[in-house]
Amino acid sequence: MDRELALELVRVTEAAAIKSAHWMGRGKKNEADDAATTAMRNVFDTVSMNGTVVIGEGELDEAPMLYIGENLGTGDGPNVDIAVDPLEGTNIVAKGHNNAMTVIAAAERGALLHAPDMYMQKLVVGEKAAGRVHLDDPIEKTIEIVAEANNKRIHDLTVIIQERPRHDEIVKRVQNMGARVKLFGDGDVGASIATCLPQTGIDIFIGIGGAPEGVISAAAVKSLGGDMQARLLPQNDEERSRCMEMGLDDPEQLLTMNDLVKSDDAIFAATGVTEGELLNGVRFLGGDTAETHSIVMRSKTRTVRFIQANHHLDLKPDLREES
């Protein structure tokens, strides 16, 4: 694992972002996801590494590319685990909304949680509250702890929660405490990262979302000094058995940051597809030029780099024919 690999992973997210951005606002989420996945896979083939997808878009028979267990890279270079979501926010892109990203996490072999693509319960806080919260605590206690850690009054504290019926009760409890709630539609990687960036004003992320997004978020949160706890939520015996086959003797055990990302050297890379609080979206500037805005982090050095790049587009896809 080195800085060269970190920058190579940015090339992967950039390519996926550009291809999926062509589909922004066209109402076709599957086409946007396919474009991101294909571009990501093609660039991965040029990266000097021996990578294995440990958590991603499903099993071999469920996803044509970037499935759990797939090998990525040239086969030369470091042995790494890969957690991937080719397009974080397919519905966002389809509707032209904000905060869609292409995202990757990588760490040395055996360091990232190996689990199926399933639901995961998550709690994320920033650096000041790290080590002080617990996923099983009532949200009321968590709010009090984080408010004290962040030197905020409870009514100034902001909890970000995905807008889903499954979260209605916790939204009411946060509001009854007097804290502020910020709801979002899709894309919980960006929401998790926001807790670790003081300028966002977000203090707590809580809720149930996808496991791949949880592991990817953990790599970013670790790089920023924050804290995360999680728990897989098998929906049936088949999912529970699959977890056990992947090495989790207790599929519903509490997962700490070091369970999600065991290594102190993890990489997180993301490129914006649509405009957002963390990253600008892809901008097509004319003259076959596109501009991208990316972020890459390493937990070993806690270095955070923002990268703005201009790309020459070799092909002009005729989306009318692809539709």
Check whether 85 is labelled as a binding-site residue: yes
Q: Which tens digits make up the pLDDT trace of 57-90?
A: 766 455 456 888 899 999 998 999 999 989 999 9
Mean pLDDT of the chain: 92
pTM for this prediction: 0.91
Check whether 165 is labelled as a binding-site residue: yes
141, 20: one domain: no
159, 236: one domain: yes
251, 157: one domain: yes
225, 279: one domain: no
Residue 114 located in a structural domain: no
Predicted pLDDT of residue 215: 95
Predicted pLDDT of residue 59: 61
Residue 279 located in a structural domain: yes
Task: Give the mean model confidence (pLDDT) for residues 216-241.
Answer: 95
Q: Which tens digits make up the pLDDT trace of 191-227?
A: 999 999 988 999 999 999 999 999 999 999 999 999 9
286, 154: one domain: no
Residue 321 — pLDDT band, cuts 50, 70, 90?
Answer: very low
Residue 322 — pLDDT band, cuts 50, 70, 90?
Answer: very low
Three-class secondary structure of residue 2 per DSSP: coil
State the CATH number of the domain containing residue 68. 3.30.540.10
Of 218, 244, 260, at which residue does a domain stop?
A: 260
Check whether 119 is labelled as a binding-site residue: yes
Residue 3 — pLDDT band, cuts 50, 70, 90?
Answer: confident
314, 218: one domain: no
234, 308: one domain: no
Check whether 252 is labelled as a binding-site residue: no
Tokens encoding 94: 């389809």
Predicted pLDDT of residue 8: 95
Residue 252 located in a structural domain: yes
Q: What is the residue range of 200's domain?
A: 119-260
State the CATH number of the domain containing residue 123. 3.40.190.90
Check whether 73 is labelled as a binding-site residue: no
Predicted pLDDT of residue 64: 57
Q: Count the neighbouring beta carbons within 10 Å of the beta carbon of residue 168.
A: 11
Residue 280 located in a structural domain: yes
Predicted pLDDT of residue 56: 80
Check whether 37 is labelled as a binding-site residue: no
Proportion of the chain above pLDDT 70, given as a percent: 94
Check whether 144 is labelled as a binding-site residue: no
Sequence-distant (6+) residues with CB within 8 A of 321 are none
Check whether 89 is labelled as a binding-site residue: yes
Query: 217 with 190: CB under 8 angstroms?
Result: no
Task: Give the mean model confidence (pLDDT) for residues 176-197.
Answer: 94
Which alpha helices (H) appear in the chain, and where do they start and end? 3-21, 29-44, 90-95, 139-149, 168-177, 188-194, 211-223, 237-245, 257-260, 319-322
Task: Give the mean model confidence (pLDDT) for residues 118-128.
Answer: 96
252, 211: one domain: yes
Q: What is the number of domains present in the chain? A: 2
Q: Which tens digits make up the pLDDT trace of 264-283?
A: 999 999 999 999 888 999 99
Q: Which of 222, 228, 201, 202 is nearest to 304 (CA)?
A: 222
From CA 115, how far away is CA 133, in angstroms rounded? 24
Of 223, 242, 260, at which residue does a domain stop?
A: 260
Predicted pLDDT of residue 24: 96
Predicted pLDDT of residue 323: 38
From CA 112, how far away is CA 133, in angstroms rounded? 22
206, 86: one domain: no
Burial of 311 (0-12, 13-18, 19+ CB in 10 A): middle
Task: Give the mean model confidence (pLDDT) for residues 91-98.
Answer: 94
Residue 97 — pLDDT band, cuts 50, 70, 90?
Answer: very high
Residue 104 located in a structural domain: yes
254, 128: one domain: yes
Predicted pLDDT of residue 246: 87
250, 151: one domain: yes
Sequence-distant (6+) residues with CB within 8 A of 47 are 5, 8, 9, 11, 12, 72, 73, 74, 77
Predicted pLDDT of residue 187: 82
Of 209, 238, 260, at which residue does a domain stop?
A: 260
Predicted pLDDT of residue 65: 66
Q: Which tens digits make up the pLDDT trace of 290-310?
A: 999 999 999 999 999 999 999
161, 279: one domain: no
Check whether 188 is labelled as a binding-site residue: yes
